[in-house]
Amino acid sequence: MVDLTTTYLGLKLKNPLVASASPLSKKVDTVQRLEEAGAAAVVLYSLFEEQIVHESRSLDFFLNQGAESNPEAASYFPDLGHYNVGPEGYLDHIRRLKKAVSIPVIGSLNGVSNAGWAEYARKIEDAAADALELNLYTIPTDVFVPAADIEDSHVALVQKVRATIQIPLAVKLSPFFTALPNFARQCVEAGANGLVLFNRFYQPDLDIETLEVVPSLDLSASSDLRLPLRWVAILYGRISADLALTSGVHTSQDVIKAVMAGASVTMLASELIANGLDRLGEIRQELETWMENFEYGSVEHMKGSMSQRNVADPSAFERGNYMKALSSFDHRMP
């Protein structure tokens, strides 16, 4: 019998399948179904910085930032009354979930400033969340703000939140940092117990008939796994934090690759939204069968076995194999 248990943020989980932040966590009965289907933990949909600032009637902070500092900027904000519940409703939702399920419930804050973050991080802890995921979601638009200033502000935010709460803290990153390993290390030194790789930025589209910018966020595919897979493999063993892989987890093979790269858990939502919550049980069973067939006794035994530090050719995760990859197309050329 294989052992599927894993440890993430100090939490002992029954398997490495975690429901990532998404609308799936907005209803108590859906989270209960996630638990029944086999989810080892759930990350709640995010409480956005815009909601916190909106509640305190302080939108001036956002309306005077970078390229969006114009009178029409307010039109880019979602209708906060229809997006998801406000801060107090979010806290009530955590309390209800803690009574309804036995799996860990991880709160999520999404933003980049210090406006209200420490206060709401503490409130999420007081609502009995088992951990907090801090999502550093930002699109720098000011051509006069250097990268170092942005990174320093992120690290300061992690430090401030860490100093405010006692529960475990994970930081969800984007891949768009010049020296990602260094920034990851700084986040861990600032107090992050885990890193989640990666945030999926929405990519707006253009409606060429109405001349409007159209918000768009497509579901992921297994091919999206490659970016976080590479960086999990590179960071594993180099920083003192648990790693969670999200984006592109759709099959048991995706889970196996993520764990072999060094992930403690895999986070998925798109597959469940597209194909139903029962996919969790199917993936878990396929994972267990594969491990039995290949004689892996536990997830811990498998974890990191194909990280950069453990594979025969570490350069495969770097630039060295770029030309080799390109040459694979030679036979297809006319």
Q: Answer whether the bond into residue 201 is a cis peptide, omega within 30°.
A: no
Could you read off the pLDDT of 158-195 as tens digits, one per residue? 999 999 999 999 999 999 999 999 999 999 999 999 99
Predicted local distance difference test score (pLDDT) of residue 119: 83
Percent of the chain scoring above 70 in pLDDT: 81
Element containing residue 11 per DSSP (H, E): strand 11-13
pLDDT digits (tens, 9 = 90+) for 25-35: 999 999 999 99
pLDDT in tens, 67-76: 443 333 333 3
Which tens digits make up the pLDDT trace of 102-134?
A: 999 999 998 666 656 788 899 999 999 999 999
Q: Where are the beta strands (DSSP E) in 238-294?
A: 242-246, 265-268
Between 62 and 327, the higher pLDDT residue: 327
Average confidence (pLDDT) over 229-241: 97
Q: What is the pLDDT of residue 61?
A: 42
The span from the CA of 42 to the CA of 304, in Å, is 23
Kindly tell me if the per-residue pLDDT of 305 is higher than 50.
Answer: yes
pLDDT number for residue 200:
79
Q: How do residues 277-292 score in pLDDT, each as one tens digit? A: 999 999 999 999 999 9
Class of the CATH-defined domain 6-332 = alpha beta
The Cα 296–Cα 101 span in angstroms is: 30
Prediction pTM value: 0.86
Cβ atoms within 10 Å of 209's Cβ, excluding its own: 6
pLDDT of residue 318: 72
Residue spans per domain, the chain: 6-332
* Closest alpha carbon to 92 in 129, 50, 146, 37: 129
